[in-house]
Amino acid sequence: MARAFLFVLDSFGIGGAADAGRFGDAGSDTLGHIARAAASGGADRAGLRSGPLALPVMASLGLGHAARVATGEDPFAATDVDLADGAFHGSAQELSNGKDTITGHWEIAGVPVPFAWGYFPDTVPAFPAELVEAIVREGDLPGILGNCHASGTEVIERFGEQHVRTGKPICYTSVDSVIQIAAHEQHFGLERLLQLCKTVRKLVDPLNIGRVIARPFLGETAATFERTPNRKDFAVPPPEPTILDRVVAAGGRTLCMGKIGDIFTHRGVSEVRKAAGNLRLFDKTLVAMDDARDGDFIFANFVDFDTEFGHRRDVAGYAAALEAFDRRLPEAIAKLGQGDLLLLTADHGCDPTWRGTDHTRERVPIFGMVPGGRGGSVGLRKTYADIGETVAAHLGLAEGRHGTSFAGTIAAHA
């Protein structure tokens, strides 16, 4: 029995979604547009990066081939990349009706979302008056700030100082089925924020809202405010067992990196390990890989691509973050044993060249390697659930209800 490592590069879509037009996202392509901007100098920033997008390790694992499956175009074709031994590649179309974090991750874990989430309108105010009244009453608050669609970092800069003066938490939402509550860890109190989010979780259950997210921050001015790693998501539990539940039921462990535990309401989660920032989380993921035993599953989410660069429409920052991640990948590859599975994917898109600040409906890449495996193309998958089913088959688990494994295509030679 081997091990499985699933890395989600949050928001790293590769375009081509057949139903993107239904979401207002026809033509969106996170990877493709970043690569084009970089090739033309549009992703240059002094002291950060310059020149064409350089992702040699991800390209050697099949990222460019995955993009060709999704859109017909390979942003790395001109570099004539040689694929690594055991590397595989493909793309997946989302089956669920959404383009948000919880929907994407549940489907990756083998459970497409069978219902429509509730959402808040992109208006000011965004929340119904009766909900605001209940939050203020049940939370014993002097009021709330925000009450709008917003980027998390921007809304803290805009309302943070007023929050510190008044004690009113900052409540905001996005295209996701979510209400986020930002508050100062010291002036408002971290435990008080978490308790408030638990209260709000109950209040929005009748509205079928997917997540309530605590967004603590520190600092004393708009220029110094910074979110802390103590974020916590209060999510609706998945409607049926996910790959996490199935691994644990079979006697394995799931080591969940970043926000994964919260997304699955800590069901089927053996351990949670967190850190602030992609590279610090990568450090912890490397330690988890050392700790993983046969039959174990590491599920990691690298959120900065989405929160720091996609939503903020920062093309240069996104490109630099991808390149920094690519430079670290050899460290993870070096920890793979014969027959282990390393699979990289995404949960949705967040094209930094697109209008607005929200996620974009895109296909996601499937690429990675099985040392000693056959590698090659796994084609265009009809659902993200094929990813979870591949993990299950790789770990010797019984088939689930959704998706089709491609483990036999990429498996080690007999």
Which pLDDT tens digit goes with each residue over 172-184?
998 789 999 999 9
Bridge partners, 146 (sequence order): 171
Q: Please say if the pLDDT value at position 98 is more than 90.
A: no
Comparing CA positions, the residue from 374, 345, 317, 321 lying closest to residue 67 is 345
pLDDT of 318: 98
Mean pLDDT of the chain: 95
Which range, of 77-86, 217-226, 312-321, 346-355, averages the lowest pLDDT? Answer: 77-86
Single-letter amino acid, residue 156 = I
- What is d(CA 250, CA 245) in angstroms, rounded to the nearest whole number? 9
Q: Supply the angle between the helices 101-108 and 385-394 in degrees, to the nearest 10.
A: 40
Comparing CA positions, the residue from 208, 223, 149 lying closest to residue 180 is 149
Q: Please say if the pLDDT value at position 1 is more than 70.
A: no
Single-letter amino acid, residue 96 = S
- Which of helix, strand or coil describes residue 132? helix
pLDDT of 413: 61
Comparing CA positions, the residue from 6, 262, 241, 4 lying closest to residue 110 is 241
Q: Please say if the pLDDT value at position 64 is more than 80.
A: yes
64 CB neighbour count, 10 Å cutoff: 27
Q: Please say if the pLDDT value at position 388 is more than 70.
A: yes
Single-letter amino acid, residue 1 = M
pLDDT band of residue 414 (cuts 50, 70, 90) is: low
Comparing CA positions, the residue from 234, 314, 322 lying closest to residue 278 is 322
- What is d(CA 35, CA 41) in angstroms, rounded to the nearest whole number? 10
- What is d(CA 347, CA 384) in angstroms, rounded to the nearest whole number? 9
Comparing CA positions, the residue from 151, 138, 156, 244 lying closest to residue 201 is 138
pLDDT of 357: 84
Comparing CA positions, the residue from 318, 291, 286, 323 lying closest to residue 305 is 318
The pTM assigned to this predicted structure is 0.89
Average pLDDT over residues 7-27: 97
pLDDT of 356: 87
Average pLDDT over residues 339-347: 97
Let me know: does 30 contact 362? Beta carbons within 8 Å: yes
Comparing CA positions, the residue from 2, 9, 89 lying closest to residue 285 is 9
Average pLDDT over residues 354-378: 95
Comparing CA positions, the residue from 315, 303, 322 lying closest to residue 260 is 303
21 vs 115, residue with greater confidence:
21
Which pLDDT tens digit goes with each residue over 241-276?
999 999 999 999 999 999 999 999 999 999 999 998
Average pLDDT over residues 116-129: 94
pLDDT of 412: 74
pLDDT of 174: 86
